[in-house]
Chain A
């Protein structure tokens, strides 16, 4: 069990945990949270791989990729949340117009 292995497994665990929760829940907002957790898990695997390759000088290419991954995750989260809020507002209006 070399130095970065525990975080590698933690990353895989987070990715699977987030994916399972995203697939199972019906609540859109919770899905956005699960998506972020899964994304962080995958990025943790990347950083752990960078760390394991050379603990003193971690691989800076992977760090740049993870930075790109974080920015993409926040863009997706911003879009998903805007759509979730709009969908739930429309749902509420439809229920309101039924009563």
Chain B
């Protein structure tokens, strides 16, 4: 029972971070600040969602796969934001 409550809470927190990240994307003026908002908020949001699903996972293997998804998403997000930030010094119209 506690696990379900925990899952619910973590899910809500995760979605909140996603919302904040999207808000940042819409509000911030230039590329780099948007990148900042997206990579930080969304990855944390994804982490929380994954943590929320871990207790619901049927077996340890499934939980490990969920965490692997998060790790890969982190690496991919870091690389793409680095490339975007580095290659576009002036404002991207």
A and B touch in the complex (CB under 8 A): no
A residues lining the B interface (CB < 8 Å): none
